[in-house]
Structure 1
């Protein structure tokens, strides 16, 4: 098992790396490679920061045993990405729908997608923390009874 400081460092790296990667790819962090087609909003930056932070906390809570939480984390990260990404710059969405349909119907739903993403991530992290704390309590109680 990794030491706590090493786990914290890895979680911070995941959080910072995902913030920079998602920020550059979506144009929230200005760069010469990608130009965002719609204006940046405060909510875009909020959902970017929350998604990156939750990915860091999820990494911090990861254990070596198998779990099905990865699907929820992936869905939440994808919803978060759609919440702060530029809808008409997303090639996948643009292939499915026209740019006018995306701006008319999808763009107003982006804050809702962000809220759903945050709720999913917060719920996942809460459930994982309860599971982790319960197992820690059982382990500490067992070690006290054996002493």
Structure 2
């Protein structure tokens, strides 16, 4: 019981950390340190919420950590997906302001979907492997 409470508290803390790591630099979570040239688009709020919920769920499920790469990739893609298209220095250096608005901004919702798909896949794999211990694996179903 104590282990489960610790795992859930840890999952909640890491979900909050995900909210801060993704939401603060992208200025979806208002803060005095970062700003945006383009206002937050309506779909960025649910993407951030789903990213936080899926990351929290992944950490809450007790299983071997076999999908860590998918979780990290999903969260990193979410940062690029919900970030201001003209605030991303890498994108600006590569394709300029007009390219950021004309090429990058339309791709961002697709990145958001890929990000959430990776996170959902990682949660699904972890859920399926929740009965595994070490190399022995008894998967339900």
Q: TM-score higher than 0.5 here?
A: yes
TM-score by length of 1: 0.81
In the other structure, the counterpart of 1:38 is 38
Separation in 2, partners of 1:70, 1:100: 36
After TM superposition, give the deviation of residue 107 of structure 1 in Å.
Answer: 0.3
After TM superposition, give the deviation of residue 88 of structure 1 in Å.
Answer: 1.2
2:91–2:104: 8 Å Cα contact kept in structure 1? no
After TM superposition, give the deviation of residue 66 of structure 1 in Å.
Answer: 5.8
Separation in 1, partners of 2:124, 2:75: 16
In the other structure, the counterpart of 1:103 is 101
Separation in 1, partners of 2:49, 2:34: 19
Q: Which has the higher helix share?
A: 1
2:15–2:52: 8 Å Cα contact kept in structure 1? yes
After TM superposition, give the deviation of residue 42 of structure 1 in Å.
Answer: 2.0
Query: Which residue of the other structure, out of 61, 83, 86, is the alignment partner of 2:84?
Result: 86
> Greater CA radius of gyration, 1 or 2?
1
TM-score by length of 2: 0.84
In the other structure, the counterpart of 1:24 is 24
Relative to 1, partners in 2 of residues 1:75 and 1:62: Cα closer, same or farther, differing over 3 Å? farther
After TM superposition, give the deviation of residue 112 of structure 1 in Å.
Answer: 1.2
In the other structure, the counterpart of 1:124 is 122
Separation in 2, partners of 1:8, 1:76: 21
Separation in 2, partners of 1:84, 1:42: 10
In the other structure, the counterpart of 1:47 is 47
Correspondence 1:72 to 2:60:
no
